[in-house]
Structure 1
Amino acid sequence: MPKTYQGGCLCGNVRFAAKGPAGNPHTCACKMCQRHSGAPITAWVEFPASCVAWTGPGGAPRLWRSSEISSRAFCPDCGSSLGAVDDAPVVALLLGCFDQAGRAELAPQSQSFRARAPKWVHVDQAPKSQTA
């Protein structure tokens, strides 16, 4: 039976249940992720869109088209960032939104855009593989 991961926004209006193996857990320091999250580095995990159900009273998050291939997801009530809904169709959820973000299978395995992190961020302790 596939594992289920649950989480949601700060106010609880937008909740999710994601089923299946957690795919491509990674961190990213690109400018878009920094602005989306307000953090110098974000941590993500991906699921096929068909494996993500929006379960909270507010239903699906609000989307803002951020690129030619993706939209950023957020709660329309509290403004919490939840992730990205890609055209692939993939839903990439921010690890901070998970009820149990410390589960071993959610641990980032790679780092994207490491060189774009602020110099004071100690990314040398992040996973060793990376993309440019």
Structure 2
Amino acid sequence: MCSCEHCTRLSGAPAMAWVGFRRDALKWTGPAGEPAYFSTWPTLHRGSCRRCRTQLTSVADGSDMIMVTIFSLDRAAEVAPVGHSYREEAAPWLAVTLAPDPQDRS
């Protein structure tokens, strides 16, 4: 999840929920195909659906990862956020319960 000013203004929501994939492992299906990209920050690019313009992705220059909005995925309810960036900047009424980090083996 992210509550930075950039994500909240672009989404019109108190936070954006993301899941990361290796760029070479993600395949786009459906009639719209791969998103159309536009720059939203000097080194950050957002991808939107070519048909409806819904924001779908975020990609940083030089990164081999692509962040995809969780609720744009099929079976989105199976994906739970494990972190909340800029939580201190989130709306004070926003309550978020994070899932356990699957990489935390303690």
TM-score category, normalised to shorter length: 0.7 to 0.9
Matched, 1:102 2:77: yes
Q: Distance in 2 between matches of 1:98 and 1:107?
A: 12
- Do the aligned partners of 1:71 and 1:86 also contact (CA within 8 Å) in 2? yes
Offset at residue 126 of structure 1 (A): 4.1
In structure 1, the gaps of 5 or more residues are: 1-26
Q: Given residue 65 of structure 1, which amino acid in structure 2 is its aligned partner?
A: S
Identify the residue that residue 89 of structure 1 maps to in structure 2: 64
Identify the residue that residue 115 of structure 1 maps to in structure 2: 88
Identify the residue that residue 71 of structure 1 maps to in structure 2: 45
Offset at residue 117 of structure 1 (A): 0.9
Percent of aligned pairs with the same amino acid? 33
Compare the two structures and name the one with the higher strand fraction.
1
Identify the residue that residue 10 of structure 2 maps to in structure 1: 36
Identify the residue that residue 26 of structure 2 maps to in structure 1: 52
In structure 2, the gaps of 5 or more residues are: 102-106
Report the TM-score, using the length of structure 2 for normalisation.
0.81
- SS of structure 1 residue aligned to 2:88: helix
Offset at residue 93 of structure 1 (A): 0.4
Identify the residue that residue 62 of structure 1 maps to in structure 2: 36
- SS of structure 1 residue aligned to 2:17: strand
Q: Distance in 2 between matches of 1:128 and 1:57?
A: 35
Q: Given residue 51 of structure 1, which amino acid in structure 2 is its aligned partner?
A: A
Offset at residue 37 of structure 1 (A): 1.8
How many residues were matched structurally?
A: 100
Q: Distance in 1 between matches of 2:98 and 2:80?
A: 10
For the aligned residues, what is the CA RMSD? 2.0
Q: Distance in 2 between matches of 1:128 and 1:52?
A: 24
Any runs of at least 4 consecutive aligned residues in structure 1 with deviations exceeding 2 A, and if so which?
125-129
Q: Distance in 2 between matches of 1:56 and 1:128?
A: 32
Offset at residue 100 of structure 1 (A): 0.3
